[in-house]
């Protein structure tokens, strides 16, 4: 029998692991999955932030727990996979969101900063995806991996920003997504990417001050910045059976900025 839209988006009985989930976009994605019925395991580096975020989710009626881990460190990533599987059972949805940025002109960009961004934004995604797939998704022939990229991965610097490592890492995430989808489709694992535009957050606070909120709004065809609801619908689509025939795709959620020539 053909299911209703509500049934297709229902994540009841599913378990999701969300990295970088203690605030900002990660917490928004965790809300989306939890509101659709999934149990949530949050992860980020700081226990105090995770306690607050988990309490927020629980207050909204969501079954949420947390594990502190640094996804730039291989040992921590492996421990995160171990503990999530031990405490929650199989992982149905993995959201790779933990990320870092660094602003500097290319000619002066520190090598250690380049490595920091790449290790977290790309290497961490690979290690955790590999662990979750091999230990939970492949044998069961199902799973959804959602990688958070950025419109910075679709082109060069935006609005005069000098973020070569970040841009390069997010372009890598997009092709990582497409390649993994091609390899793991035979296992019933779907892999897709969300490419946010400018959302106010702790990471973007400095840019918001430098570039100006009104300037950024004016640059977007919709005339606004992203808010705390704008990623929810796409996340739920990619995670649920509503998107069961979608894999290897990336979609910008940016108010139309990436649709502009040279956007």
Compute how many other C-beta atoms are within 10 angstroms of the C-beta atom of residue 168. Answer: 17
Selection from 41, 25, 15 nearest residue 229 by Cα:
25
Write the DSSP symbol of residue 95: E
The torsion angles phi and psi of 120, rounded to 5 degrees, stand at -80, -45
Euclidean distance between CA atoms 226 and 157, whole angstroms: 19
Identify whether 250 is a catalytic site residue. Answer: no
Decide: 124 and 77 in contact? Cβ < 8 Å. yes
Active-site residue, from 125, 166, 187, 250 = 166
The set of residues, in sequence order, having a beta carbon less than 8 Å from that of 115 and lying 6+ positions away, is none
Q: Is 174 helix (H, G, I), strand (E, B) or coil?
A: helix
What is the set of active-site residues? 166
């Amino acid at each position: 029998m053909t299911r209703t839209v509500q049934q297709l988006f229902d994540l009841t009985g599913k378990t999701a692991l969300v990295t970088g989930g203690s605030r900002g976009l990660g917490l928004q994605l965790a809300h989306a999955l939890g509101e659709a019925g999934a149990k949530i395991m949050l992860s980020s580096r700081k226990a105090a932030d995770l306690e607050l975020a988990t309490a927020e989710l629980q207050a909204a009626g969501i079954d949420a727990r947390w594990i502190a881990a640094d996804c730039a460190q291989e040992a921590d990533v492996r421990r995160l996979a171990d503990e999530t599987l031990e405490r929650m059972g199989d992982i149905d949805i993995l959201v790779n969101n933990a990320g870092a940025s660094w602003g500097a002109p290319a000619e002066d960009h520190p090598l250690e900063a380049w490595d920091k961004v790449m290790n977290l934004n790309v290497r961490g995604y690979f290690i955790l995806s590999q662990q979750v797939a091999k230990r939970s998704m492949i044998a069961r022939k199902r799973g959804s991996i959602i990688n958070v990229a950025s419109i910075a991965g679709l082109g060069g610097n935006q609005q005069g920003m000098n973020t070569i490592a970040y841009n390069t890492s997010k372009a890598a995430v997009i092709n990582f997504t497409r390649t993994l989808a091609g390899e793991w489709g035979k296992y019933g694992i779907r892999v897709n990417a969300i490419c946010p535009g400018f959302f106010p957050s702790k990471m973007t606070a400095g840019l918001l001050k430098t570039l100006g909120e009104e300037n950024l709004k004016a640059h977007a065809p919709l005339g606004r910045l992203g808010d705390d609801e704008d990623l929810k619908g796409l996340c739920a689509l990619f995670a649920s059976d509503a998107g069961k025939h979608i894999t290897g795709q990336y979609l910008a959620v940016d108010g139309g900025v990436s649709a502009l020539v040279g956007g």
